[in-house]
Each structure stands twice: as structure tokens, then as C-alpha cells.
């Protein structure tokens, strides 16, 4: 079995690079505020596309308090989602991915109940993640928990690509392969994302990683295992256009799984031979580039070695 750790480190790198320009939908503003995003940068306020001014989350019981000292920023204009993170630091979902990797690597197996307890402990610990924005699926999970649901039943029908962020951690931390691994991914993702489209994408992602590990080229693996999102003829045609037209006009830059997963696969396909160019292109496309990046970085890292400069500047690496 080949070394699977590059998949996780690649995901962490791509997320950390995109972090300061995460959820920029105005790409003119993105370039104005950050210029060329070819290195780790610090986030800064104001964030012109922030929705925190119209977001709210009031925990019904203390068990559901997952915002902690960040709650005071909700309802304010221009607040950056990751305002307190440092250059090279990861967003919440990828920090959870690191925690999952450590757990499964230490035990050599995946235990859904153990993971759920770790997830709850991390999210409830003040200062554990320091991210200002907490995605909708986390809020729904802890609302259900506060209302008395069992841990295994707190997931929601969330349709966002953030549900794929922890797949590279499972891949890196486990030795299982084939449909056994795909089944673990299915079980794990369904704990928080009870959405058939997200689960299907997660399983396709898992199969692509496995195929690359056993000798398939990245592009061939995408065609074989993600035909519902990818196609050689379509991708070849799109490759003649600027990335920001493909991911922006043909495909949405938003987080909804159908377009977001297709966009991640396209950028991984296009930049299969160049890790750095692929993650930089993804960052500049804006939108949910952090969670797309988790897919892109993992796939590219399994195809080509991650340049040392990215690992050297990463706050969390394995």
C-alpha cells in the first residue's frame, strides 16, 4: 500500500491557501483585497461578501453552544469568516479532519460512536477552533442534540461540499481498501450529512483516491468513478476557457454539492500534473474554495508530490 498521508496534507494545504479568500463571490474584490494568492495569507476585515450580518444562531441549551466567544460577531457587517486564523492555518472543517485522522490513526480503525464523542467534545471546547463562522450542518447537529436526539441521529440533510472535507483524513488514517473503505466513508459522512447527493459524491471521492493509490492516473480515475460529474469531452472543451469562467458560469462557485464537486473534479483534472497551479487556481475562483480545495488538494497530492514550501508553512501537518 502506498503512503496515503499526502492526501490529507494536500487537503490541508489547499484549504489553508484558500482560507483568506473563502466565500469571496466578488472576484474583483478578491483580487483587490489579496492580489495573487500564491502563498499563505492572513484574513482581514472587512469581508465584502460576508453574510454574518444576516446569520444567527441561538443555542437552546448549553450543550449546543458551539460559537462561544465568536457569537458576538454574528449579526455584524463585513466580518471575515476566519478573521482570527493565522496564515497557513486551517478552517474548522479541516481542523476536524485533522482530529479525525489522529483518532483513526491511533486506533487503526474507524469507530463512529468514538468519532461523534470527539466531534462534540471539540466543538464544545471554547477556543478549540477559533473560527468565527460555523457551518449550517454543525448548528443543525447541535440543535438536534440539545433537543434530546441520540448522537447517531443528529445529522441533517445538508447538501454542501463541506461534507467531503473529512474523507482524506479517513483515507490517510486507515489501511482498509476497496468497498470496505467506501462503506466506512458512507457511514461517516451520513452521520452529519443525510443527503444522498453528498453521500454519493463522498463515495465517488473515496473510489477515486483508491484508484489512484492502485495505479490509475488521476484523470482516468475521475472518468471511471465520477461520470455523473465529469466527462472527458466536456472537460476538454472547458479547458479552453479561463478557470473563472468554468467555475462561475458553467458551474456555480457556491457550496452546493452538484456543482461544487464537479468544479473540484474539473480543476483536479486540469491541473493533474501541477499541484501548486491547481490549488492556486481554485483559490482564485472564490466561492467555497476551501471545501473544493479539500477535494482538489487530496487528489492532486496523490498524483504529484506536494512541494515542500507548502508543507513548511502549514500550521498543521501530519
**317 part of a folded domain:** no
- 23-37, 53-67, 149-163, 178-192: least confident range: 53-67
Round to the nearest angstrom and report the end-to-end CA distance of the chain.
18
As for how many domains the chain has, the answer is 1
CA distance 232 to 7: 24
User: CB of 222 within 8 A of CB of 303?
Assistant: no
CA distance 269 to 81: 29
* 127 C-beta neighbours (distance < 10 Å), count: 9
**184 part of a folded domain:** yes
State pLDDT tens for residues 130-153: 999 999 999 999 999 999 999 999
Predicted local distance difference test score (pLDDT) of residue 228: 94
Residue 200's domain spans which residues? 5-312
CA distance 226 to 206: 10
Point out which residues pair with 247 in neighbouring strands. 251
**10 part of a folded domain:** yes
Q: What angle do CA 300, 277, 263 make, to 5 degrees?
A: 65
**70 part of a folded domain:** yes
Angle between helix axes 27-34 and 275-285 (nearest 10 degrees) is 120
User: CB of 161 within 8 A of CB of 193?
Assistant: no
Reported as a pLDDT band with limits 50, 70 and 90, residue 201 is very high
CA distance 38 to 284: 9
**Mean pLDDT to the nearest integer, 214-218:** 97
Point out which residues pair with 156 in neighbouring strands. 193
DSSP per-residue codes, 53-71? GG-----SSGGG--SGGGG
Reported as a pLDDT band with limits 50, 70 and 90, residue 173 is very high
Of 263, 269, 312, which is closest to residue 290 (Cα–Cα)? Answer: 263
State pLDDT tens for residues 285-300: 999 999 999 999 999 9
Contacts of 59 (CB under 8 A, 6+ apart): 65, 66, 67, 142, 143, 146
CA distance 181 to 93: 21
User: CB of 132 within 8 A of CB of 83?
Assistant: yes
State pLDDT tens for residues 108-134: 999 999 999 999 999 999 999 999 999
**47 part of a folded domain:** yes
CA distance 264 to 169: 18
- pLDDT of 1 > 60? The answer is no
**15 part of a folded domain:** yes
**69 part of a folded domain:** yes
CA distance 58 to 134: 12
Percent of the chain beyond pLDDT 90?
Answer: 98
**Mean pLDDT to the nearest integer, 24-43:** 98
Angle between helix axes 112-124 and 136-146 (nearest 10 degrees) is 100
State pLDDT tens for residues 233-275: 999 999 999 999 999 999 999 999 999 999 999 999 999 999 9
Environment class of 118 (CB within 10 Å of its CB; exposed 0-12, middle 13-18, buried 19+): middle
Residue 195's CATH number:
1.10.4080.10
DSSP per-residue codes, 61-114? SGGG--SGGGGGGTT-TT--TTTTPPTTPPPHHHHHHHHHHHHHHHHSS--HHH
Our CA dihedral for 284, 287, 291, 295, rounded to 10 degrees, sits at -50
Environment class of 2 (CB within 10 Å of its CB; exposed 0-12, middle 13-18, buried 19+): exposed
**111 part of a folded domain:** yes
Our CA dihedral for 212, 40, 169, 226, rounded to 10 degrees, sits at -40
**Mean pLDDT to the nearest integer, 304-311:** 96
Predicted local distance difference test score (pLDDT) of residue 2: 64
Amino acid at each position: 500500500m502506498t503512503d496515503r498521508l499526502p492526501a490529507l496534507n494536500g487537503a490541508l494545504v489547499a484549504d489553508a491557501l484558500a482560507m483568506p479568500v473563502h466565500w469571496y463571490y466578488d472576484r474583483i474584490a478578491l483580487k483587490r483585497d489579496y492580489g495573487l494568492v500564491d502563498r499563505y495569507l492572513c484574513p482581514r476585515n472587512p469581508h465584502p461578501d460576508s453574510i454574518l450580518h444576516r446569520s444567527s444562531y441561538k443555542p437552546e441549551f448549553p450543550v449546543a453552544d458551539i460559537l462561544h466567544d465568536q457569537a458576538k460577531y454574528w449579526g455584524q457587517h463585513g466580518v471575515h469568516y476566519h478573521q482570527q486564523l493565522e496564515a497557513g492555518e486551517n478552517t474548522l472543517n479541516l481542523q476536524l479532519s485533522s482530529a479525525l485522522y489522529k483518532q483513526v490513526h491511533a486506533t487503526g480503525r474507524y469507530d463512529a460512536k468514538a468519532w461523534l464523542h470527539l466531534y462534540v467534545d471539540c466543538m464544545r471546547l471554547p477556543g478549540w477552533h477559533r473560527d468565527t463562522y460555523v457551518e449550517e450542518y454543525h448548528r443543525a447537529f447541535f440543535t438536534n442534540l440539545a433537543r434530546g436526539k441520540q448522537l447517531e441521529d443528529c445529522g441533517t440533510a445538508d447538501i454542501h461540499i463541506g461534507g467531503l472535507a473529512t474523507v482524506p483524513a479517513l483515507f490517510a488514517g486507515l489501511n482498509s481498501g476497496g468497498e470496505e473503505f467506501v462503506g466506512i466513508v458512507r457511514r461517516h459522512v451520513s452521520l452529519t450529512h443525510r443527503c444522498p447527493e453528498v453521500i454519493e459524491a463522498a463515495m465517488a471521492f473515496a473510489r477515486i483516491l483508491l484508484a489512484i493509490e492502485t495505479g490509475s492516473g488521476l484523470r482516468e480515475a475521475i472518468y471511471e468513478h465520477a461520470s455523473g460529474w465529469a466527462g472527458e469531452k466536456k472537460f476538454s472543451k472547458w479547458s479552453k476557457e479561463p478557470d473563472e469562467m468554468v467555475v462561475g458560469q458553467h458551474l456555480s462557485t457556491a457550496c452546493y454539492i452538484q456543482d461544487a464537486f464537479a468544479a473540484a473534479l474539473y480543476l483536479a483534472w486540469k491541473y493533474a500534473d501541477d499541484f501548486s497551479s491547481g490549488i492556486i487556481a481554485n483559490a482564485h475562483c472564490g466561492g467555497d474554495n476551501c471545501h473544493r480545495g479539500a477535494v482538489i488538494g487530496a487528489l492532486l497530492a496523490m498524483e504529484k508530490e506536494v512541494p515542500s514550501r507548502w508543507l513548511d508553512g502549514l500550521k498543521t501537518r501530519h
